Amino acid sequence: MELRQLRYFVVLADLLHFGDAAAELHISQPGLSQQIRRLEDDLGVVLFERGRNTRLTPAGAVLAELAAPLLDHAGRVRTQVVRAASSEVAGTLRIVLTRSAPTPLIHDFLEPFRAQHPEIDVQIETAWTALNVSMLRLGTADAAFVQLPLDETDGLEVVELSRVDLAIILPSDHPLAQQDVVTLDEIRGVPCVGWPREHAPGAWDQLIAAVWGDTEPRFVRLEPDLERMMAAVRNGHGFALATHERAQQLRRDGVVVRQFAEPAPSYLFGLCWLSDNPNPALRALRADVEAFRP
């Protein structure tokens, strides 16, 4: 059971409406539904009665009573750990993001960190996983958000933060676009638009294995970012894969975003840094990561 899932549950238990709760949490409704299902699977119980009206089951009502105090306690632990680690450390912390990471993950981590450490000058850049790791090794960044797994971790400390299900982006007139849910078998052999493997080799290899298995993917275009991938999809060059939240953010006329049937392929995101980086501000970040991660 992840703390993030518990926070999602508390909001949904209060509002009893998936759409309203997703808006409150700044995530997609399918993403919220998937996280609640995973929480139910982990606990081995059904927490909500789905239908015209969303209602708590008896098990859900018990968790609703227990969840808020648990989250309050976790928040107090986090605050105490971070304050003890930071000791009002000033300095500069250079963090490089990856474009594919979901906005809520980055926002939920960075905004509380900045609020807890106003004395630290947090400088942000955005690139992609392989470049982010290179920046760490060159000393031009202190910490980096990355897609996992990494293909090379020597000298790095890596912390897993979040696993996010992928969605499929299709041309509006594609036959699969008429379905609410798409299976992996249905896309094998279908032309695909992807991103260059060198951007995140470890994550690329894992994605290929998870989506295509022993079959050969039919990549017809490789584009450097999701904006161009989506433009290629709109122009009829095939489908593309992205996190549901990112796909919905960039969706344009001419394309649709569809969910995968469970179990959906996913991206794993994390944060990493050089283990011998002496920056005092990084020590505060490391303590915050330990308190933040599930």
Per-residue pLDDT of the chain (294 residues; tens, 9 = 90+): 778 888 889 999 999 999 888 888 878 888 889 889 999 998 999 999 988 889 999 999 999 888 888 877 776 666 555 555 545 567 899 999 998 887 878 888 898 889 888 899 999 999 999 999 999 999 999 999 999 999 999 999 999 998 889 999 999 999 999 999 999 999 999 999 999 999 999 999 999 999 999 899 999 999 999 999 999 999 999 999 999 888 888 878 899 999 999 889 999 999 999 999 999 999 889 888 876 665
Residues 255 and 203 placed together within one structural domain of the fold? yes
Residue ending a domain, among 58, 82, 106, is 82
The residue from 82, 100, 123 where one domain ends is 82
Whether residues 113 and 52 share a domain: the answer is: no
Domain of 15, in residue numbers: 3-82
Burial 273-290 (b: 16+ CB within 10 A, else e): bbeebebebbbbbbbbbe
As a whole number of angstroms, the distance between CA 266 and CA 244 comes to: 10
Q: What is the CATH number of the domain that holds 192?
A: 3.40.190.10
For residue 65, the domain's CATH number is 1.10.10.10
Copy the structure tokens of residue 31: 């993403």
Per-residue tokens: 52 = 């015209």
Please state, in angstroms and rounded to a whole number, the distance separating the CA atoms of residues 188 and 184: 7
Q: Specify the number of domains making up the chain.
A: 3
pLDDT at 153: 93
Q: Does 114 lie in the same domain as 74?
A: no
